[in-house]
Chain A
Amino acid sequence: GQNIDQPTEMTATEGAIVQINCTYQTSGFNGLFWYQQHAGEAPTFLSYNVLDGLEEKGRFSSFLSRSKGYSYLLLKELQMKDSASYLCAVMDSNYQLIWGAGTKLIIKP
Chain B
Amino acid sequence: NAGVTQTPKFQVLKTGQSMTLQCAQDMNHEYMSWYRQDPGMGLRLIHYSVGAGITDQGEVPNGYNVSRSTTEDFPLRLLSAAPSQTSVYFCASSYSRTDLALAGNTDTQYFGPGTRLTVL
Contact = CB atoms under 8 A, between A and B. Distances in A.
A41 B113 contact: yes
Interface of B: 40-45, 58, 90, 97-98, 100-101, 103-109, 111-114
A43 B111 contact: yes
Contacts of B109: 45
Interface residues of A, number: 26
Nearest to A98: B42
Contacts, number: 55
Given A42-B111, A48-B103, A57-B105, A95 B98 contact: yes
Given A31-B103, A57-B105, A97-B100, A43 B90 contact: yes
A30 interface: yes
Interface stretch (A10-18, A70-78, A99-107): A99-107
Contacts of B90: 42-43
26 contacts: A4-B42, A31-B101, A31-B103, A33-B100, A41-B113, A41-B114, A42-B111, A42-B112, A42-B114, A43-B90, A44-B111, A45-B107, A48-B104, A55-B105, A87-B42, A89-B43, A95-B97, A95-B98, A96-B45, A96-B58, A97-B43, A97-B100, A99-B42, A99-B44, A100-B42, A102-B42
